[in-house]
Amino acid sequence: MDKPIVVALAEGMRGPQADKVAAVSPRVRIAYVSNSGEPRDDVSNAEVIYRGFGLMPPGLRRLLPSMPKLRWIHVMGAGVDGDLAPQVVNGDVVVTRTRGLHNLPVSEWVMLQVLAVTKRLPELVLAQHEGKWDPVEVPVTIEGRTMGIVGYGEIGQTLAVRARAFGLRLVGTRRHPAPAPELDALYPSNELDRLLEQSDYVVILTPLTPETRGLIGEPQLRRMKAAAWLVNVARGEVVDEGALVRALRERWIAGAALDVFRQEPLPPDNPLWKLPNVLITPHNGGVRHPNFSDAALNQFLDNLGRYVRGEPLKNQVDKTAGY
């Protein structure tokens, strides 16, 4: 019989999820780990780990020394910035990630925020809670305005379809520009200023990499229109939070709709909570929907079958690029 393949799973997968993993092949053996990165079983022979279901990047990093035979990490989410420890990047471990499942919910979240801030929905909801009949002036529609998508990838393409239906003009940046007839313009990443200067809504969708950490700082915020809104559903660290707070207080820009932050949960004393021109959601733009866990697991199961058969894995991450 072929040698067993030990797959490390978070304890939260005990039960039906783990049964599905084991059912992929008689060779599969399950070893459980805690969310904090403590082995519950012997993981010294583990070749595969599913990083999800409560196991977060810090837990994975604590586990790595216990798994000398690790060959493959599958990340439940789309972002892998926290999983790319030096020994992973510099070693022969393959990293794969879930793809496609965030495209629609993130796109809908962005459109929700764009419509909400343009139509001044937060002020209307506040007036409702205070029992006030307080009509507000809504001076613009979003039709004809410009949305700039920073990091134009799969999610950006899905967003573009929905934004175009509202009559928005669309521009984007991408590390390696390719033909994008659905956009009015696509710029290389080093021409970000061109996007910032013309956009009424600057939507951050870029992955967090060494190149994008702090990408939006004081110079970039000052390049934006005074009436523009910053919309971030990527990673908090892409934006210099201190510079953003100052930009919002001093009205360099009109406001920000934020789903991600440098520190999560966002601390109660963070000044962003108190700013009137900020709309905050608790990192639920992409994955807080009931079918996500099962759909993500199915992508892993398909890849695990490939691993058992010695076939190339789908959705591999470029560890050097960071996505």
If asked whether residues 117 and 264 sit together in one domain, one would say yes
181 burial (CB, 10 Å; 0-12 / 13-18 / 19+) is exposed
Structure tokens at 275: 């700013």
Residue 271 lies in a domain: yes
Higher model confidence: residue 134 or residue 80? 80
pLDDT of residue 288: 62
Q: Catalytic pick from 191, 211, 264, 311?
A: 264
If asked whether residues 28 and 60 sit together in one domain, one would say yes
Neighbours of 141 (CB within 10 A): 12
**134-175 pLDDT per residue, tens:** 888 887 899 999 999 999 999 999 999 999 999 999 999 999
Mean pLDDT computed over 257-279: 97
Residue 272 has pLDDT above 90, yes or no: yes
If asked whether residues 154 and 41 sit together in one domain, one would say no
Residue 50 lies in a domain: yes
Residue 286 has pLDDT above 90, yes or no: no
If asked whether residues 226 and 153 sit together in one domain, one would say yes
Residue 1 has pLDDT above 60, yes or no: no
222 tagged catalytic: no
Residue 285 lies in a domain: no
Residue 210 lies in a domain: yes
Residue 142 lies in a domain: yes
Supply the mean pLDDT for the chain: 96
* CA-based nearest residue to 210, from 78, 100, 319: 319
If asked whether residues 61 and 164 sit together in one domain, one would say no
If asked whether residues 21 and 142 sit together in one domain, one would say no
pLDDT of residue 301: 98
Mean pLDDT computed over 1-24: 95
- pTM of the model as a whole: 0.93
If asked whether residues 268 and 126 sit together in one domain, one would say yes
Contact (Cβ atoms closer than 8 angstroms) between residue 153 and residue 205: yes
If asked whether residues 264 and 298 sit together in one domain, one would say no
The parent domain of residue 51 ranges over 5-101+290-309
* ∠ CA 290-294-297, rounded to 5°: 145
Distances (CA, A) of 185 to 23, 166, 182, 191, 196: 48, 18, 9, 11, 13
Contact (Cβ atoms closer than 8 angstroms) between residue 79 and residue 101: no
102 tagged catalytic: no
DSSP conformation class of 40: S
Domain count of the fold of the chain: 2
CATH number, domain with residue 74: 3.40.50.720
Least confident range from 130-144, 170-184, 246-260: namely 130-144
Mean pLDDT computed over 114-143: 92
Secondary structure of residue 202 in the 3-state scheme: strand
**219-246 pLDDT per residue, tens:** 999 999 999 999 999 999 999 999 999 9
Residue 29 has pLDDT above 70, yes or no: yes
Residue 315 lies in a domain: no
Q: Catalytic pick from 74, 102, 169, 283?
A: 283
pLDDT of residue 287: 63
Residue 322 lies in a domain: no
If asked whether residues 12 and 78 sit together in one domain, one would say yes
**306-320 pLDDT per residue, tens:** 999 999 999 999 999
Q: Where are the beta strands (DSSP E) in the chain?
A: 5-10, 28-33, 46-51, 72-75, 94-97, 146-150, 169-174, 185-188, 201-204, 229-232, 255-258, 278-280
pLDDT of residue 291: 85
If asked whether residues 114 and 240 sit together in one domain, one would say yes
Residue 74 lies in a domain: yes
Query: Which amino acid is it at 16?
Result: P
If asked whether residues 197 and 133 sit together in one domain, one would say yes
Q: Catalytic pick from 51, 169, 235, 241?
A: 235
Q: Give the percent of the chain with pLDDT over 70.
A: 99
74 tagged catalytic: no
Residue 289 has pLDDT above 80, yes or no: no
Mean pLDDT computed over 36-56: 97
pLDDT of residue 140: 82
If asked whether residues 129 and 45 sit together in one domain, one would say no
Residue 106 has pLDDT above 90, yes or no: yes
pLDDT of residue 139: 73
